[in-house]
Structures are given as structure tokens and as C-alpha cells.
Amino acid sequence: MEIIVNKDKCTGCRVCVDVCPVGAITLDNDGKAQIDERCSFCRLCVKECPENAIEIVGEEKKKSETDLNQYKGIWFFAEQKHGKLSHVSFELCGISLKLAETLKEEVCGVIFGSKCDEMAQELFNRGANKVYVVEDESLDEFRQDIYVCLMTELIKKYKPNIVLASATMIGRSFIPQTAARLKTGLTADCTDLAIDPDTKLLQQIRPTYGGNLMAKIVCENHRPQMATIRPKAVEEAKPTGNNSGIIVKDNFASFNATCRVDLISKEAVEQTIDLQEAEIIVSGGRGLGDGKNFEMIRKLAELIGGAVGASRAAVDSGWIPYPHQVGQTGKTVKPKIYIACGISGAIQHLAGMSTSDYIIAINKDPDAPIFKVANLGIVGDIFEVIPKLIQKLESKR
């Protein structure tokens, strides 16, 4: 495959130079576009060139070896904790129902664990048509090898068209391995999904090139089409009051699943913060100036029942561990209230919090980009504003 510039057509207008996300296009001595080895074949220049002077040649159109018509249904992996479905399961149900409006295929949950009947009823209530269940007490705890084995075998047996999981610690761990076993593609960390109305392919939408572009990725020749979707990126399916649907049970023993990992202690997992579940988040950034100043953020968070978040600058400075990072390479959050303290509002930070219901920003720079997304902006020094807030809240206790 090669990308070429038709020099007769090229007018040197620079549209391709400006649009190239990797800086692979320059103008040669004759003022014509030239493309170097940094090109990632993203096709943006091909699409944007007003003279149609750029084309990709020698591209092999692969034909699928799989009978794609055998694959039907939109599956989502429903995560549970202690027999209670987690909110991400309802988010996946919600996006699956949205896809089903165009695709006209049934929406099916997949649950591993005990007390599955109750959880299946909850999914029917949210609009799922069918729930595939593998029931065993040992499945209440996430175990990578076993989950991969079960999911792979279920997919081989029932042949779903689409399989979705949440980009949580669990989904990120076992779904890529499942996709690899099935020799199909996976788009990780999507922020949205859609169905192409013409091809009926799943469009897997996610930021790319440092958040500057949104990529639409499709899986043309392999099945199922698999994606993980960021928690809080899509709306939860609402309860419908309808509790009917079909439960399909497979016997755990029939899978012969073995696990190389023993669970020794649950302590470490339980101690980690769950930013994505928090209704209030107070986040600190480089404006704090020092790790010890996070104490002030923790205090404020504690007083209003919130969790502590951070910008990448604060994490990279070693002031707070990575699980607290909010943003493109951290967590996506959607709390009711997000308080950004000493955070500028870089695009990569906004990618993880801009859909919060109510954003409060405290920053001493009135031109900080965070104020563009803030519902309430406080232009001021965090070392003056936060202690006053803390004092006020303590006096009301």
C-alpha cells in the first residue's frame, strides 16, 4: 500500500499540510505536497484535498473468511459486585438498546456469578431481551482465565454480532484476551458507538492523536465486533417495569475452566478509590505546587462526601497515585459536582470530566480554559479560597 500525490493536480494549497495529524506532509521545492514515512494512512488528507490529488494505491481489499450472516445479536457483559449489578452494566444495556434501534437485533446481557436470576430480571427491566448466564459462586470474584474461557466458549456457541464490555479494570483485563482467542478485532476505550445505516457495521468511536481527532473504527471481516466503552461515557438504560425475557443457562462444569491465579487477599482491591462511582469529586492540579497541599483537597472532599481526583500533571509530579487521575489517559468521570482546583483545563483533562453535571473551577488565571466548561468559575488563589470553604463547612457541622 502506498500514498501518492498527483503533482499535476496539486496546487500547493496546504490543506493537507494543516490537516495531517502526524506532520508527515510538507511542500517540496516546487510548492507541491510531499508525504514522508511518518504517514499513518489515516486518509484525512485524501478526504480533505480539494483537488483530489492524493490517493492510496495498492490497497488490498480483504474478503472475509467468516460467514458473517451467522452472527446475530448485541451482547454486553454485565459486571456485578456481591450479586448486585454495577452501574456500567446499565450503561452497556443503554447503548446496546440504542444500537438495536438501527440494527434490529436482540439485546442480550451476559452474567457470571451467583444469584443470576435476580440480576437477569433487573436487565429485563432495563430493556434486555435475553440474558446468558453461567452460574457458580466461584464466579462472584473476577478471575481472568476463567472469565476469558467462559466468554470465548459462549461466543463460539451462540455467535453474537457485537460484544461490548465496559472499560473497567475487569473489562480491560479479560475482553482483549477473549478477542485475541477469537481472532477478531477490539476497539478499547470507546467514548461512543453507532451503527452505520448503510453497511450496518458497528462504528467504534474514540479519541485519537492526543484527543485532537475522533476516530470511527469498523471491523469489517471478523466477528464478533468487539469494543470496550468508557464508564460514564453513555447513558444508563432506564427501568421499564417489564420483567420478562429469556434466560439461557450454561453449566459451569461443562466449560472445564481452570485458573492459574489464586485469590489471596481482597484488601488491596477494596482499598482503591472508585472515582467513577463518586457523586462529588474534588480534583487538584499543578496549581497545588506540592504534594503535601493535596491534604487541603482531601479535607474539602471529606467535608462534602466526595472523592479526590487529580490532573496528570499532579500524578506525574508524584503528588498522588495514578488511580486518581482524571482524563484521557486516566478515568472518565461524570459526577454530579466536579470541583477543579488549580487545573488549567487541558483538552486531555476535559476529555475525562467535561460531561460532569455541574463543574466548579477555582483558578487564579481568568483566561484558564477550564472556565469555558465550568458552570461556576471562581477566579482566585486556591490557597485562599479552599481554606475559607473548609472553614465555612466545618462551622456548619
Q: Which residues bind ligand FAD (CB under 6 A)?
A: 210, 285-287, 311-314, 325-330, 342-344, 346, 348-349, 352, 362-365, 368, 381-383
Q: In angstroms, what CA-CA distances link 69 with 107, 159, 161, 334, 340? A: 17, 10, 9, 38, 49
Nearer to ligand FAD, 109 or 285 (CB): 285
Q: For residues 225 and 104, give the distance between their C-alpha atoms in angstroms, rounded to a whole number.
A: 16
Nearer to ligand FAD, 159 or 172 (CB): 172
Residue nearest to ligand FAD (CB): 327
Nearer to ligand FAD, 96 or 344 (CB): 344
Helix residue ranges, H only, the chain = 15-19, 44-48, 87-103, 116-125, 144-158, 169-182, 267-271, 294-303, 312-316, 347-353, 370-373, 382-395
- Name residues whose C-beta falls within 8 Å of residue 117's C-beta, 6 or more positions apart in sequence: 133, 247
Instruction: Tell me how far, at minimum, the Cβ of 347 lies from ligand FAD, in Å.
Output: 7
Nearer to ligand FAD, 239 or 387 (CB): 387
Instruction: Tell me how far, at minimum, the Cβ of 330 lies from ligand FAD, in Å.
Output: 4
Instruction: Tell me how far, at minimum, the Cβ of 86 lies from ligand FAD, in Å.
Output: 22
Instruction: Tell me how far, at minimum, the Cβ of 20 lies from ligand FAD, in Å.
Output: 18
- Name residues whose C-beta falls within 8 Å of residue 316's C-beta, 6 or more positions apart in sequence: none
Nearer to ligand FAD, 210 or 321 (CB): 210
Instruction: Tell me how far, at minimum, the Cβ of 17 lies from ligand FAD, in Å.
Output: 22
- Name residues whose C-beta falls within 8 Å of residue 343's C-beta, 6 or more positions apart in sequence: 283, 284, 285, 286, 287, 311, 349, 361, 363, 370
Phi then psi dihedrals of residue 6, to 5 deg: -80, 105
Instruction: Tell me how far, at minimum, the Cβ of 323 lies from ligand FAD, in Å.
Output: 12
Nearer to ligand FAD, 151 or 386 (CB): 386
